[in-house]
Amino acid sequence: MTAFNGNTTKTGSAALATPVLSLGRRYWRDRLMLGLLASSTILVLVPLFIVIAYVVVQGIGALNWDFFTQELGSPTRAHTGQPTGLVHTIIGTLVVDSMALIIAVPLGIGAGVMLAEYPDHRLNPLLRLLNDTLNGMPAILKGMLAFALIVKPMGTFSGLAGAVALTFVMLPIIARATESALDIIPWSIREAGLALGLPRWRVILSTIIPAAKVGLVTGILIAFARAAGEAAPLLFTSFGNNYLPSRWTGWLFGPVDTLPQRLYSLAISPYKQWHEMGWAAGIVLLVMVILLFITARVTVRRA
Amino acid sequence: MAAAPSTYELVRRTPPLLYRWLGDRIFAVLVTLFGLTVMGLAISLAVVLFWEGSEAIKTFGFWGFLIGTTWDPALTLTFGTFPFLIGTVVTSVAALALSFFPALAVAIFSAEYAPRWLSHIIDALVDLIAAVPSVVVGIWGIFVLAPWLRDHFYLPLYMWAAESRPELLPIIGSPMGYGMTTAVIVLALMIVPFTAALSRDAIRLVPKAQREACWALGATRWEVIRMAVLPYARSGIVAGAILSFGRAIGETMAVAMLIGNKNTLPFDLFGPAATMPSVIINEFREAVENLHLSSLMAIGFYLFLISLIVNLLAAYIQRKMMVAGGRSA
């Protein structure tokens, strides 16, 4: 309340300090600011369309049947005009991302339930702080952690390590989203469940979580979209691979290609054909992320 | 009356105590375990990075590594992170300075001026910018933005300086397109949505009464914003800007693709430079020497410390806002 008053006082003094202007000039200034704000908004939003337009225009040519059915192979393959594509990258992305999702969803929802359903748990302030800390950390550090925890002991880059690195990216987002989704559910619903004689865990699992479903799904989708676009944690965990693995275990325990990391490698390579494939990979990645994003927004809108 | 189950019947039908008691215990333990995992991860991030980087920190000293200006993984194996620290701080500060006012403008326009349908669209688009993967921005920067900036800004400016102001040349640096300024522009572009979204949330938290009081005094729309809304939302906006700064510090891929990667000071305006994340990305996969790898891990540890400080600072400012405004209103 004190600070509230403090603010009002400051506002008052600001008003006093303002030289008295004619009404016309005040309206003129109002319109000027509106113009400035609107043009800044346009200035900020225009690059988005430029980026999307360039990616689509440059990449659409390389987005053919081979792109989805062939593996990349060595640079000579692209040079000599042999069919190359990114099928191993697309499958690798699906494998690594879904593995990460499988690990992160139960852990993240569990941590979120702890925050929201056990509000007087003694560890909660610390958990909230550490979760936010983890969320604020650069993704590249999470890749380094996964490198030290998984790649080093295993002695090899692997899809599993990539999935763990992405888990570190998703986890704090899911936990936070779960907490805020559960917080919205009024306590009276929990009390109603408890009054029926249901134990607390049944109340949470059978009434609270279904009631908060939309919020949970949105949080998971947003976390997924964030992680799906990350290249930094994957470069030294799943590493990348120009070929399809020879056995299915290769997806888990061998180096795996993923879209963002492949896009980076293609973009910094010296080959023109690979640059085109990079743009095409950009289209696939953008479409994937935007679809996830739109799904998340539509879910919210319908709730 | 006889058909309705008696109270006894109801109690008997509820699950046994063991199911409720044990189920609750197991659930609570499980949930706590998940929470502990998240906490453990955050702590192990610091511990592991420090542990892995301890060789470098021991060799060069905690401060020695931080202020060492030589980064030589090839011959002398001397490592110091100062050039990257400077690169990170300068690019992030410049990007924040460049993006703060446009982002604030978007937030004000969306929250105060725009009609509801338009502000929905603006919010969605701003969130969409945040969702565009860093590598996609990076590839656009490499093939479109950097060459364009080189041809239309860097080269003309460089030629002009070479002809009439040769003393400026060392400040301007090589105009090849991949360097500090390009990285700053792209970085600014990428943190705009964060600053905008967080400022917008802070502005929306301002109670209606605050605005109405100002309207009642006969203020114009802009005066309401300047005198009633912005002062009230100030701490939230500042916290949001600090969080965006933290984002900029950690932003890796687009910067690594565009900054040109030069590991020695001094950096100049248009010339290549490096940041802490960019050097990690560029050298981590090729580090053979133990000390080199350890030094990269140590850079990660310092990056962790910087991000931690930035995040805690933002949280502190935001908490102050909660106590001052959100609750009392």
Report yes or no: A117 at the B interface, CB cutoff 8 Å: yes
Specify the CATH number for the domain of residue B109.
1.10.3720.10
Strand partners, B273: B260
Which residue is closest to B12 within chain A, CA to CA? A197
Q: Could you say which of 3.40.367.20, 1.10.3720.10, 3.40.640.10, 3.40.30.10 is the CATH number of the domain covering A65-302?
A: 1.10.3720.10
Q: Determine the Cα–Cα distance for residues A74 and A224; give it in Å rounded to an integer.
A: 31
Q: Which residues of B touch A199 (CB under 8 A)?
A: 15, 19-21, 23-24
3-state helix, strand, coil in chain A (%, to 5): 80, 0, 20
Asked, for residue B26, whether it belongs to a domain, the answer is no
Q: Which residue has the tokens 């693995």?
A: A245
Asked, for residue B138, whether it belongs to a domain, the answer is yes
Write out pLDDT tens, residues B123-175: 888 888 888 899 999 999 999 998 998 888 888 888 888 888 777 777 777 77
Nearest to B202 by CA among B107, B103, B126: B107
Residue B208's contacts (CB-CB under 8 Å, 6 or more residues apart) are: none
Task: Delimit the domains of chain A by residue range.
Answer: 2-62, 65-302
Q: Above 80 in pLDDT, residue B10?
A: no
Residue B260's region, left for phi above 0, alpha for psi from -120 to 50, else beta, is left
Write out pLDDT tens, residues A91-126: 999 999 999 999 999 999 999 999 998 888 888 889
Would you call B138 and A267 a contact, using CB atoms and an 8 Å cutoff? Answer: yes
Asked, for residue B28, whether it belongs to a domain, the answer is no
Q: How many pairs of residues across A and B have Cβ atoms under 8 Å apart?
A: 291
Asked, for residue B13, whether it belongs to a domain, the answer is no
Q: Would you state the pLDDT for residue A83?
A: 80
**Interface ipTM:** 0.86
Report yes or no: A275 at the B interface, CB cutoff 8 Å: yes
Would you call B231 and A133 a contact, using CB atoms and an 8 Å cutoff? Answer: no
Which H or E run includes A58? helix A23-59
Q: Which residues of A touch B48 (CB under 8 A)?
A: 144-145, 148-149
Q: How many domains is chain B partitioned into structurally?
A: 1
Q: Which domain holds residue B178?
A: 57-326
Q: Rounded to two decimals, what is the model's pTM?
A: 0.87
- Using the 8-state DSSP alphabet, how is residue A20 labeled? P
Q: Which residues of A touch B139 (CB under 8 A)?
A: 55, 263, 267, 278-279, 282
Cα A283 to chain centroid distance, Å, stands at 17
Asked, for residue B160, whether it belongs to a domain, the answer is yes
Q: Would you state the pLDDT for residue A12?
A: 46
Q: Above 70 in pLDDT, residue B227?
A: yes
Asked, for residue B22, whether it belongs to a domain, the answer is no
